[in-house]
Amino acid sequence: MHLPLFVSIPHSGEKVPEICPWLKGIPEPLLMCDVDRFVDQLYAPALQELQLPVVQTQWHRYAADLNRLPDDVDAGSVLGHARARGAFLRGFHWQITTKREVLMPAPMPLAAHEELVRLIYEPFHASVRQAAKNIRSAGNAEVFHLDLHSMPSLGTSEHLDPGERRAEIVVSDCKGKSSRSDFVDLVILSYVRAGFKVAYNWPYVGGRVSETYGHPEQGHHTVQVELNRSLYMNEETKQLEPRHQAVQRRLQQALKNVVNGLTQLAKSM
């Protein structure tokens, strides 16, 4: 029986679609303000060693955020939308950054929105569903899913914790709704044993990926994991720092811990 675990990384892509000219030519620190830059690289050795399936994207989250729903838009992002501007300033299409810097000077036509859904949203989520299906097809009754992200070290005015210094890792499960509790406990313990300071459901509780796929009653368990960017990058320039190698090794150990623990969980199912 194959291990019933896969990983998604929805926010590490940096490619800007041609249909989003407002994101072309802006300074790199601004363009990368809210990208989970380097998360895919940091986890890559662990994913390769453990041979875990991974779903990720090349596309930039400001163009189409895969941890939102396509309807998470308003009149400020999609021309003529019935929902008033301000409902989703950081929705499916980002109008501002978490530092309140303006990204979209004007809303896009509905046709552009629909094209971004087809180009970015649908392929990624089709791959998530296929990864879960593959695990079921291998004879597993339950699917375990890690949704991997990064976060700024300090909350901004756009966050629930403005000015707060954050833990090194935040594990979330939609306040107990997106996963069986023993898998959540395993993920937390796995990162703690790898040397990380871990918080639970604060300041993040889980996004649309967790909400969409995490249904324990149906045997799909999704846990979101946020990694503090100050551990491995310069948060102002958005460049990787040499210390990232030590973090990469700790992440590798954390995922090994998850796999080892899940192997024991699987035997008890």
Query: Which pLDDT score, from 0 to 100, does residue 269 have?
Result: 66
**Residues 99/48, Cβ–Cβ less than 8 Å:** no
Establish if 89 belongs to a structural domain: no
CATH code where residue 39 lies: 3.40.630.40
pTM comes to 0.96
Q: Locate tokens 């992440």: which residue?
A: 251
Structure tokens at 140: 């597993």
Domains held by the chain: number: 1
| Residue 2 pLDDT class (50, 70, 90 cuts) | confident
Q: Which of 71, 75, 50 is nearest to 116 (CA)?
A: 71
Establish if 251 belongs to a structural domain: yes
Whole domain around residue 23: which residue ranges? 5-58+123-267
Cis peptide before 242 (omega within 30 of 0): no
Amino acid at 249: R
CA angle 196, 171, 182 (to 5 degrees): 100
Establish if 71 belongs to a structural domain: no
Query: Which pLDDT score, from 0 to 100, does residue 17 have?
Result: 98
- Percentage, residues of the chain above pLDDT 70: 98
Establish if 68 belongs to a structural domain: no
| Residue 1 pLDDT class (50, 70, 90 cuts) | very low
Establish if 206 belongs to a structural domain: yes
Please tell me what DSSP assigns to residue 231: G
CA dihedral 100, 101, 105, 106 (to 10 degrees): -30
3-state per-residue secondary structure call for 131-143: HHHHHHHCCCCCE
Establish if 192 belongs to a structural domain: yes
